[in-house]
C-alpha cells in the first residue's frame, strides 16, 4: 500500500520514511514539498541516497489520491486544516500529525495556536489517535488526528492514576524536557547549535499549545475537568521527551501497588513498558523506538506520586504513533513495522 | 593570602584554583591530594601547565596551617568531618565545600548521607554560607559550611516568595536539572560519556541528600516547617543547574508584582539577577560566573507560581560561593575575584 | 537460526542484539557474560525490557554449540584467542569481532596489542571479513574475523584509488575521528562525560593497534608493501567514524573521474555509497545503518586527493558487518536484517 | 581607555566584551550594531544583564572617534574594508578581526573571499597581528589585522619546524577541526542544532578562505613559497580548534629534540605551551583562555612529524589575540586582561 507524505522535508516526514521503509505493508509513495518541489529528495537528505531517490512534488489532491492509498500530513500547524478537506473529498484516508484536528473546540484552537481553526465538519470527524487509549475508534477512522509529542508522554503517564481516586486531580504538575528535533528543521536562534549546546532552557511559560490537548484527554478520561501546570524545557540533545509529573496522593500507597496498577492498565499494550519499583526510565532507553516507558515513585515523606514518562518525540511522539494508528486503521498487527529495538547507546 | 586546597584533583578544587588565580588577595597555596601526593599537579590537569606547577601533597594539618592562611576543603562527604577538627585546632579558618557541616541534625545527616556525622561541637560552630541570606554570620565565621549546589539554586529562588504569605508553603515542588560535573571526576556508569550523551536521566527518587538541607533553610527562614518534593535529573552538559519550582499561590498576583518583590529582596545583592516579566534565564547565561539568575511566571489560569533559578554548579554552586564567603570572612569586597562575565556561548 | 553472543554486556553485543532482532533468519540465542552471569539481561540494559528477557550465562562451549548455530564473539582483545579454539572444536561457526584473528603475523599482534597471539592454526583458518572486498572467501569461512572499525572505513575509502597507479602509495595519511562508543562501556577517564564533552582529543600517537591491520589489507590489495600515517581522535559524540585521507596524485585528474572510478569499483555493493562531485558525507548520514559513505575531492592546486569515508562504528564498523558476513556465510541475501535506513537526525 | 566594538551582536564582540570587562586598562565604550541599533545590549544577550546595559548604536566614525581611544571591528568579511578608512581618517587606532586586511594580494582576496578587496593603501598599512611572530611590527601598528582562527593555530604549530630544514616544505597537510561558534550567530542549516549534534562534517573542500592566509605566513617566514593541503571539519562542540598537521621529515629526529626546538622557539611567549614527549593537548585544555597549546610526535616508523595545535577559536583565534595585540600596541604588559586560566571541564 502506497503512502503519500505531505511536508516532505521536515523531520517528521523523514522519520515516517524511515519507518515506512521497514513496514511490511506500506511503501513510500508521493512525497510533497511545495517549497522544494522538483528537487530530488536525497539532495536535501543525503542519508537517503540510492534508497529514496524521487522528486519532491507539489500538492495535488487528485494526483495524490490516484497514486496512494493513505496520506500522512506532517505539516506545520495551520496547513492541514486547508489540505485535509481537499484530500478527504477524494475518499483517501488521512493521518494528520499536526495540531489542526486535535482540539474539539475551535475557540481553544484559536486561543492557543493563534491560527484559524479547521472547519467544524472535519474536526467532528477526526479521531484522536492516542493508540493505547482509543484503539476502537482509531480502527474506524477516516481522518486520524495524531497526538502531540508532549501530550502522548504526559497522558500515557497520567491516565492510569487519574482513572482511580488515588490522586488529587487538581494537583497535577508536568515538568517536560524535550530534545531539539521537536522544534523542527526551521532555522531559529533557539535551534542554533551554539545557543542550545551546553544549555537548558525553559520556554513558552504557561502558553504551550499542547496544554489544551493534554487537558482535553485527561478531562475526557477522568470524567471531570482537569487543569494542569505544564512547563516545557529544551535539553541539549536531538531526540527524546521526558515528562516528570507530580500528583498529590489522597491516601498512602506504596510504589509497588502503583506499579501493579500501571502494569494492569497497560497489560496488552506492547508499546508501554512499566519499570519495576526503584527504577525510572531515561530517554535513551526508548531512542529510535515506539516505546513509551514509565517509572513511578510514591514518596512516603511527601505523599506525592512522581511519574516519569519517556518517549522518542519523533517516533511514539509523531511518526511511530502515526504508523501504529495506520496499522489499526487498516486492520494490521499493531506492531507492524515498529518492532525495532531502541538504538543504544 | 595563601589558600590551601584539600581534595586537589576533583572538579571543585580545579574551579577554586581558576578563581583564586584571578583573586586580588588570594593565591594558591598547598594543594592536598592523598591519592596523588607527589605527582605534579599539571600531570593530572594539563590545562594548568606552566601556571600551577607544584607537587600535590599529603594531608598534614600543621604544615597546612604554617604555610597558608585559609583552607578550602573540596572533599567527598564523610572526609572533612575528620579533617576539619585537626585544622581548626591550629586556628586556621576553614571553608568546607562538602555536606559534612551543613545539617544541624546529626541524625538527619546519618539518614540522608549514610555516613557518620561530624562531631556536635563543630557542627554547632559551623556557619552555613548562603552568602546572600546570611552575610553577617558569614563575616564572623571560623568554620564556614558552603551550601550545596542544588540548595543554593533552590533556596535563592524560593526565599523571597516564602517570606511572604503569598504562596502555599506545603505546595513546593522542585524539579532540578544538573550538568554532569556535579557528579565529580570519579568514574561511574552514570558519568560514562556514551550513557549520558543524548539522554536525560532522573535519579535518586526522593532520596537526594540535598533535601534536608533545602528544607532546613526554607524552614528557618519562613518560620514554619517546610517539606519539599525534590527531583533531580542529569542533563547532557557539563555545567549548570536549573531548578524549575512550582508553588500554589494563595491569591491572584500578576507576575510583575512578583518580579518587583524579588528585585526588592535582592536589591543589594550583585550576584542575584531577576529577569523581567516574560523572560526566564537559561543555564548558559550564568556559565562560568557566580551569578544566580531567576525568572518568574505567575500563571493566571492555574494560579501557580513558577520560579526558574539557574547557577553554574561549580561556581555559585561550589567554588564561587566559597570565594564569596571568603571575601566576606576576610572583610574584602564581596565581588573580589568574582567579576568575570559568564562565558557565552 | 539461533545466534549466541559472547561478551554480552558490551556495546558490540547490544548492537548485535538490535540487528539480530530484526533479522529474518537469525534470533538471539545464548548470551554469555562471565562477569554478570545469572543476572537478567534487561537489568543491565533496561531498553531491552520485555523484549530480551533472559539470564546472562557463563561461557560453556558445549552448551553453546548445542543450543546455537552460530557464535558472535564481541569480547575485548585477548579473549577470543582462547575461546575460539574451544568453540571451533564443536564444529560451530564463529564470527569474532575482536582483533585476535585479524593479523596474519603473530609478531605484529604481540607488538601492537601487547597480548599473547592466538594459535597459528586458527589464525591461518580465519577469513578476514571485509565484506565488499572478500565476499567469496567469506562465503566459505568457518572462522570469520570481523574487521576493525577504523580499518573498515579506511580501507573501503582507499582501495579503489590504490588499485590504480593514480596515487603515490607512500603518501597516505589517515586522519580519523571517532565517537566515544568505540572505547566501549568500560569506565575510564577518557570516556568520562565531563572530560570528553566539548572536547576533541587526539590519542595513541602512532601506536594504534589498527595500523597493522590497515597496512595488511592495503598491502595485500595494492600488491606492494604500504605504510600509513594514521592518527586517531575522539570526538564528542556517541557513534560515527570519519576518516579523512590524503594521497598525492601521480597525475592531474578531475574529481569527476575519481568519483566514476569509485562508483564503478563499488557498483554491486549496496552498502557503499559514493557522493557526487562537491559533496562529502557526514557521520550522521550513516547513523544506525550499515552504510559506508564516501566523498572525494581531487584538489587541482595541490594535486592531492582527499577521501572522506564515514561509517557507524557499531554497525558497519562492528555488529552490522558481522551480520553482513553471517549473511554471506549462510548463503542469505547480503542485506538480510540490514535494510534499516540511517536514523536522522 | 575606552574601546569601541563594531559588529556588536556577534560572538566575536561578546567575547571582546568578556575580556575587556576584566582588562585593567580597557573598558567597553561604544558598541555598534546597525541591525539592532537602539536596542539594549542585554536584550540580545541576557547573560550581560545588569553589567553591560547600554543601547546599541549605529555606525558613526566621528562619534566613535570622539568617545573611544581604540576600535575593534568584529564584522563579517567585506564590511571593515569600508569602515576602516573612515575610522582611520579620524586618527583612531583600529583592530580588525575580519579577513579584509590580512592578504597582501587583492587578487587573492577576491579569489578566495568572492568580495571586493579593501583599498591598496590600507592593505599596505595593515600589520598582520600574529602576536608571537610579529610583536615588533604590532607595537607600531595603527591598523592591526588580527589573524584568522585556523591560521593562528596552524602557523603557530608549523613555524618552528618550518624555520629549520628538518621537514619537507611540500608535504604539509593540515587537518583542522573546529567548534561551531566559528560559524557565528547567523542562522544556517550547518549551525542547526539537530544537524550538527552527534555529527562530524567536513566542509569547504580545498576552498577555505584561510588557505591563502596560512600560505602567506608560512611562505614569508620559511623563505620559500609554500602550498598546503588544508581541510576543515565541524565538530559538535561550541569552542575550540584543533589542527592536526603532518609533515615528512628530511631526517630521523626523536620527538624529544623537536619538543626542545619548539620550547626554545617559544621560550618567552607566555601564551604558547609545548607539551612534553608523549602528550598532546586537547581543545578543552585551552577553553576560554588565550593559550595555544602544542603537542608533537615524530614517528619513527613513517618518518613523519605530527603537530597537534589547539586554541579556543573565540579567544586566541579572535578576541583574545586582538586584546593581546592591543596590549602590544599600547605598550602594556602582553598578558594584561588575559591571565584567566582555561575553564575546565
pLDDT (tens digit per residue) in B170-226: 999 999 999 999 999 999 999 999 999 999 999 999 999 999 999 999 999 999 999
Decide if pLDDT at C298 tops 90. yes
Predicted local distance difference test score (pLDDT) of residue B260 = 98
Listed in sequence order, the DSSP H helices in B166-210 are 193-196
Beta carbons of A341 and C48 less than 8 Å apart: yes
Answer whether C342 sits within 8 Å of A47, measured CB to CB: yes
Q: Name the residue among A165, A6, A155, A2 with its Cα closest to residue A76.
A: A6
For D284, the closest of C199, C237, C239 (CB atoms) is C199
Residues A261 and A205 sit within 8 Å (Cβ to Cβ): no
Average pLDDT over residues B84-107: 98
DSSP D80-129: HHHHHHHHHHTT-EEEE-SSTTT-S-HHHHHHHH-SPPPPHHHHHHPEE-
Neighbours of chain D (3+ CB pairs under 8 A): A, B, C
B203 in helix, strand or coil?
strand
Q: Low-confidence residues of chain A, pLDDT below 50?
A: none
Query: Which chain B residues contact residue C197 at CB under 8 A?
Result: 180, 193, 197, 236-238
Nearest CA in chain B to C11: B194
What is the crossing angle of helices B211-222 and B106-113, to 10°? 150
Q: Which residues in C lie closer than 8 A to residue B192 (C-beta atoms)?
A: 185, 187, 191-193
ipTM: 0.97
Q: Nearest-CA neighbor of A73 among A152, A170, A145?
A: A145
Query: In what order do the strands lie in the sheet containing B241-248?
Result: B201-203, B229-234, B173-178, B241-248, B304-311, B292-299, B272-274
Helices marked H in chain D: 11-21, 41-44, 61-67, 80-89, 106-113, 120-125, 135-139, 149-162, 193-196, 211-222, 255-265, 320-329
CB contact under 8 A, D228 and C302: yes
For residue C177, give the chain D residue with the closest CA. D200
Q: What DSSP element (H or E) covers C291?
A: none
Question: Shortest CA distance to A321 belongs to which of A286, A294, A295?
Answer: A286
Chains touching chain C at 3 or more Cβ pairs under 8 angstroms? A, B, D
Looking at the DSSP assignment, which residues form a beta bridge with residue B274?
B294
For D191, the closest chain A residue by CA position comes to A193
Binary contact (B236, C197; C-beta < 8 A): yes
Q: What percent of chain B has pLDDT over 90?
A: 99
Q: Which residues in chain B touch residue C191, judged by CB atoms under 8 angstroms apart?
A: 192-194
**Confidence at residue A9, expressed as pLDDT on a 0 to 100 scale:** 87
Contact between residue B44 and residue B9 where contact means Cβ atoms under 8 Å apart: yes
Chain D residues near any Cβ of chain A (below 8 Å) = 11, 180-181, 185, 187-189, 191-198, 236-238
Cα Rg of chain B, angstroms: 20
CA D156 to chain CA centroid, Å, is 11
Q: How many CB pairs under 8 A join A and D?
A: 55
Question: DSSP letters along D272-289, please?
Answer: EEEPPTT----GGGGTTS
State the burial class of residue D86 (Cβ atoms within 10 Å of its Cβ: 0-12, 13-18, 19+). Answer: middle
Q: Are C292 and C275 in contact (CB under 8 A)?
A: no
Nearest to D191 among A179, A181, A193 (CB): A193
Predicted local confidence at residue C308, as pLDDT:
98
Q: What are phi and psi of D326, to 5 degrees?
A: -60, -40
pLDDT for the residue A168: 98
**Peptide bond connecting D345 to the previous residue in cis, omega within 30 degrees of 0:** yes
Locate the domains of chain D by residue range: 2-125, 150-313
CB contacts, 8 Å: A49 with chain C: 273, 275, 285, 293
In 3D space, the residue among C4, C89, C19, C75 whose CA is nearest the CA of residue C324 turns out to be: C19
**Structure confidence by residue, pLDDT tens digits, A22-47:** 999 999 999 999 999 999 999 999 99
Would you state the cell numbers that stand for residue C216, as one nine-digit string?
A: 595488511
| pLDDT at residue B278, as a whole number | 97
Calpha distance B113→B212 (Å, rounded): 10
Size of interface C-D (CB pairs under 8 A): 141
Fold for A150-313, please state it.
Dihydrodipicolinate Reductase; domain 2 (3.30.360)
Q: Is the pLDDT of residue C235 over 90?
A: yes
pLDDT above 90 for B295: yes
Model pLDDT for residues B106-164, shown as the tens digit of each residue: 999 999 999 999 999 999 999 999 999 999 999 999 999 999 999 999 999 999 999 99
> How far does chain C reach from its first CA to its final CA, in angstroms?
33
- What integer pLDDT is reported at residue C320 of this predicted model? 98
Query: CB-CB: which of A198, A227, A278 is closest to B284?
Result: A198
In three state form, how does the secondary structure of C237-264 look? CCCCEEEEEEEEECCCCCHHHHHHHHHH
The alpha carbon of residue D22 is apart from the nearest alpha carbon of chain B, in Å, by 7
Residue numbers in D near B181 (CB within 8 A) = 345
Share of chain C above pLDDT 70, in %: 100
Q: Which residues of B touch C196 (CB under 8 A)?
A: 193
Among B180, B186, B194, B195, the residue to mutate for chain C (most C Cβ within 10 A): B194
Backbone angles phi, psi at D231, to 5 degrees: -125, 130
Cβ contact B51–D341 (<8 Å): yes
Residues of B with CB under 8 A from a CB of D: 11, 14, 17-18, 21-22, 45-52, 181, 197-198, 238, 270, 273, 275, 279, 281, 284-289, 293, 339-345
What is the pLDDT at residue A258? 98
| Nearest beta carbon to residue A343 from set C18, C46, C51 | C18
How much is the pLDDT for D339?
93
If you average pLDDT over residues D235-243, what whole number do you get?
A: 98
Neighbouring CB atoms inside 10 A of C194's CB total 25
With an 8 Å Cβ cutoff, the interface of chain A facing chain D consists of 11, 179-181, 185, 187-189, 191-198, 236-238
* Strand pairing category for C241-248 and C173-178: antiparallel
Inter-chain touch A233–B242, beta carbons under 8 Å: yes
CA angle, corner A70, sides to A68 and A75, nearest 5?
A: 105
Give the nearest partner residue to D46 out of B49, B52, B281, using CB atoms.
B281
D11 phi, psi to nearest 5 deg = -65, -30
Out of A94, A149, A243, A292, pick the active-site residue: A149
User: Would you state the pLDDT for residue C8?
Assistant: 81
pLDDT in tens, A268-287: 999 999 999 999 999 999 99
What are the grid coordinates assigned to D170, written together?
Answer: 611540500
Average pLDDT taken over every residue of chain B: 97
D237 and C199 within 8 Å at the Cβ level: the answer is yes
Do the Cβ atoms of C324 and C133 come closer than 8 Å? no
What is the pLDDT at residue A243? 98
Q: What is the pLDDT of residues B51-84, one digit of tens each?
A: 999 999 999 999 999 999 999 999 999 999 999 9
CATH class of D2-125: alpha beta
Q: What is the pLDDT of residues B307-317, one digit of tens each?
A: 999 999 999 99
Nearest-angstrom CA–CA distance, B268 and C340: 60
Give D266's pLDDT tier (boundaries 50, 70, 90).
Answer: very high
Interface of C with D (CB under 8 A): 173, 175, 177, 179, 194-195, 197-202, 205-206, 227-229, 231, 233, 235-240, 242, 244, 246, 278, 280, 282-284, 287, 295, 297, 299, 301-302, 304, 306, 308, 310, 345
**B14, B46, B192, best to mutate vs chain C, most C CBs in 10 Å:** B192
Whole-number Å distance between alpha carbons of B310 and B288:
12
**How buried is residue D89: exposed, middle or buried, by Cβ count under 10 Å (0-12/13-18/19+)?**
exposed
Average pLDDT, chain C: 97
Cα D142 versus chain centre, distance: 18
pLDDT, mean of residues B266-287: 98
Mean pLDDT to the nearest integer, C68-83: 97
Phi and psi at residue B55, in whole multiples of 5°? -75, 145
The Cα–Cα gap between B53 and B46 comes to 10
pLDDT cut 90: percent of chain C above it? 99
Would you say residue B8 has pLDDT above 90?
no
Residues A304 and B229: beta-carbon distance below 8 Å = yes
Amino acid at each position: 500500500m502506497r503512502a503519500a507524505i505531505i511536508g516532505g522535508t521536515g523531520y517528521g516526514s523523514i522519520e515516517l520514511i524511515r519507518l515506512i521503509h521497514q513496514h511490511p505493508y506500506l511503501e513510500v509513495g508521493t512525497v510533497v514539498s511545495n517549497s522544494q518541489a522538483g528537487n530530488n529528495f536525497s539532495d536535501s537528505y543525503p542519508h537517503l541516497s540510492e534508497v529514496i531517490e524521487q522528486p519532491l512534488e507539489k500538492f495535488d489532491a487528485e494526483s495524490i489520491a490516484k497514486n496512494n492509498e493513505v496520506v500522512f500530513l506532517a505539516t506545520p500547524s495551520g496547513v492541514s486544516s486547508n489540505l485535509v478537506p481537499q484530500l478527504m473529498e477524494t475518499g483517501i484516508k488521512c493521518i494528520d500529525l499536526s495540531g489542526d484536528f486535535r482540539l474539539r473546540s475551535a475557540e481553544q484552537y484559536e486561543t492557543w495556536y493563534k491560527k484559524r481553526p479547521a472547519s467544524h465538519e472535519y474536526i467532528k470527524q477526526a479521531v484522536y489517535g492516542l493508540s493505547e487509549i482509543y484503539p476502537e475508534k482509531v480502527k474506524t477512522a477516516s481522518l486520524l488526528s495524531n497526538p502531540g509529542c508532549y501530550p502522548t508522554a504526559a497522558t500515557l503517564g497520567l491516565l492510569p492514576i487519574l482513572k482511580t481516586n488515588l490522586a488529587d486531580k487538581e494537583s497535577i504538575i508536568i515538568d517536560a524536557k524535550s530534545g531539539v528535533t521537536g522544534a523542527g528543521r526551521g532555522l531559529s536562534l533557539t535551534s542554533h547549535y551554539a545557543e542550545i549546546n551546553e544549555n537548558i532552557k525553559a520556554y513558552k511559560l504557561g502558553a504551550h499549545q499542547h496544554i489544551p490537548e493534554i487537558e482535553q484527554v485527561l478531562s475526557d478520561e477522568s470524567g471531570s475537568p482537569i487543569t494542569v501546570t505544564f512547563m516545557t524545557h529544551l535539553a541539549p540533545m536531538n531526540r527524546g521527551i521526558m515528562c516528570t509529573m507530580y500528583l498529590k496522593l489522597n491516601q498512602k500507597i506504596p510504589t509497588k501497588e502503583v506499579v501493579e496498577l500501571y502494569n494492569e492498565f497497560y497489560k496488552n499494550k506492547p508499546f508501554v513498558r512499566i519499570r519495576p519499583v526503584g527504577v525510572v526510565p531515561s530517554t535513551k532507553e526508548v531512542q529510535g523506538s515506539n516505546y513509551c516507558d514509565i517509572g513511578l515513585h510514591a514518596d512516603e515523606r511527601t505523599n506525592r506520586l512522581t511519574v516519569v514518562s519517556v518517549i522518542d518525540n519523533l517516533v511514539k511522539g509523531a511518526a511511530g504513533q502515526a504508523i501504529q494508528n495506520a496499522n489499526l486503521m487498516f486492520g494490521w498487527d499493531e506492531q507492524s513495522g515498529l518492532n525495532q529495538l531502541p538504538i543504544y547507546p
